[in-house]
A and B are shown apart, each in its own frame.
Chain A
Amino acid sequence: MIPILFGVLLLTFVVSHVVTPYPARAWAGPRASESTVQTIANRYHLNDPLPIQFYYYLSDLFRGDWGVSPSTGQPVLANILAFFPATIELTIVAFLLSVAVGIPLGVVSAVHRDQPVDHLLRLVSLSGIASPPFLVALLMQLILFYYLRIFPESGGRISPLISPPTHITGLFLVDSLLTGNLPAFVSSLQHILMPALALALVTFGLATRLTRASMLEVLRTDYVRTARAKGLNNRTVIYKHALRNALISTTTIMSSAFAFLLGGTVVIETIFSWPGIGRYAAQAVLNLDFPAIMGTTLVFALGVVLCNLVADTLYALLDPRIKLG
């Protein structure tokens, strides 16, 4: 955990100070004057030897100085914290959606192996993985919004006519439930569903395929044969004996799916105007706003490290044979 975190910080340092040919120019932004570039270079010690730069880089990070975004003129950390809850909410809903749909379909696929259902599900889940996120998002907008008019026009987390719920966690769905604000809950649900579905498509395919693969492996084992031999009905064997064991490996790998989800937010949030970190990163790319990009990259990496930690803990809880050492 600690070595990984150190490694993550070292890598962001290498990318921002060593790989980048003109760090001071990159940090100052493309439209900055020569004197501003100089000020930035002095402020962040960009002319010092690299180890000393790394020391200042770390101490700045820990003091909460993540640089100032040239395009918004605000501190990067403040921007990221403001956009953070929206992204968390979106990724959690997308993750739940993909797992809730993906795992049952994976079971169906494994049980009906090499039958037409299996081929169809394989095609669907592979298309989910193979489709560019922007294509899915645009198709959903085209069909669900322009033609069927099921969902509200994309943009924001809640209808502009409804005031957002009182800030408790920053997650609109949770906050509106906690305060009993039903109109806000319904409106946020309507707004989150389309981007979450679009985002979920990639990890949904992953969940289906992982569940299928590990189910196939488990269904071959002796204890499943024993369960069948002692006359348990098919349902019990599949869901009680096989699936519980198959889920162990699915759980661990699905945690790495969070990395995909976070990467996906960059595109999905942009298309659906979802005010989160992903859209912030995409705008930073357009504006060549390097401090903002580096800040986002760091936050996303910290998020992935945290998810892996959670997954390891879950792994130990799910599988009594494994003890946390």
Chain B
Amino acid sequence: MLEKKEIRITLRLLTRNPLSIAGGIITVWFFSTAIAISLTGSRFLPHDPDAIMLSNALSPPSMTYWFGTDPLGRDIFSRVMMATPIDASIAVVIVGVSLVVGVMLGSMAGYVGSKLDEIIMRTTDVFMAFPALVLALAVAVGLGPGIIPLVEALLIVWWPWYVRLARGETLSVRENQYIEGARAAGLSTFRIVTKHVIPNLITPVLVYASLDLGYVILTTSVLSYLGLGAQPPQSEWGRMVFDGQPYLSTAWWVPILPGVMILIVVLGFSLLGDGLRDVLDPKSRK
């Protein structure tokens, strides 16, 4: 893990890049909004997200309605904000579970090698032969509509990438002398992997995970755009774009602005993760 001094240097390098700062701000904003909304509900939003007001239908973005209103006169900005907790929690669950599963399997595969490595890696190869989105679609359709099947479908397609990453890191960590020392001291394989291998590969995996949170949000929005996952009246970003699509030529803000929100949040995670990777990679560090 990173030492305190390391963290300070990393932060200083990170804040030198304006794009990384922007990414950090977006990320913090997204999670704090999600937490605030799940604690207080719609109380602090500019409008009630479910209040239907047909006289206000399809009004363009203005000072009162920042993102305009939808065909039922509901405030789009408030509805977009209401969807943050669901996207944030899906992202955290998928990345968290994939990370734990991936690091365990990947470090074992990389450290033990031979047969175990073959079996685990060939299995991930098979999963990675599928376009993630399409496999998730198939699983989700088989399981039926709703948030839980969506999460299960994403979990099934998401973990192999972490196995790959953790195994690659293990292969280089394994060659270190302290590992040889631990083995000479008679530590069990399990202990070496959990106490010596995993702590030394976790940093790059965490960096990847920070980037990856954004991609989970992106994929979730595509799946719900296609009609899986959140069912009405629950608001979800991809679903809002899909429902607003017929109004593209007459009221562009209805489908476009929720989509832009997805772009901003995913971009925020990417910028932050990208900046972190640049800073933590000793080769590109200056």
Per the bound structure, the CA–CA distance linking A263 and B137 in Å amounts to 10
Q: With a CB–CB cut-off of 8 A, which chain A residues contact B143?
A: 19-21
- B28 CB, nearest partner CB in chain A, Å: 17
Per the bound structure, the CA–CA distance linking A288 and B142 in Å amounts to 8
Most B-side CB within 10 Å, residue of A16, A131, A141, A146: A131
Per the bound structure, the CA–CA distance linking A4 and B127 in Å amounts to 10
B227 and A7: CB pair below 8 A?
no
CB-contacts of B141-199 with A (<8 A): 141-144, 156
Closest to B266 in A: A130
Which of A134, A259, A263, A305 sits near B225, CB closer than 8 Å? A134
- B52 CB, nearest partner CB in chain A, Å: 25
B225 and A132: CB pair below 8 A?
yes
A158 within 8 A of B: no
B19 within 8 A of A: yes
A146 and B249: CB pair below 8 A?
yes
A138 and B134: CB pair below 8 A?
no
Q: With a CB–CB cut-off of 8 A, which chain B residues contact A133?
A: 222
Closest to B259 in A: A135
Per-residue CB proximity of A15-41 to B under 8 Å, as 1/0? 110011101001000000000000000
Per the bound structure, the CA–CA distance linking A264 and B242 in Å amounts to 16
- Describe A's contact surface by its main secondary structure: helix
Top 4 nearest A-B pairs by Cβ distance?
A7-B126, A20-B142, A135-B259, A263-B131
What residues of chain A have their CB less than 8 Å away from a CB belonging to chain B? 3-4, 7-8, 10-12, 15-16, 19-21, 23, 26, 119, 122-123, 126-127, 129-135, 138-139, 141-142, 146, 216, 256, 259-260, 262-264, 266-267, 270-271, 281-282, 284-286, 288, 290, 293-294, 296-297, 300-301, 304-305, 308
What residues of chain B have their CB less than 8 Å away from a CB belonging to chain A? 18-19, 122-123, 125-135, 137-139, 141-144, 156, 214, 218, 221-222, 225-228, 238, 241-242, 245, 248-249, 252, 255-256, 259-260, 262-263, 266-267, 269-271, 274, 284
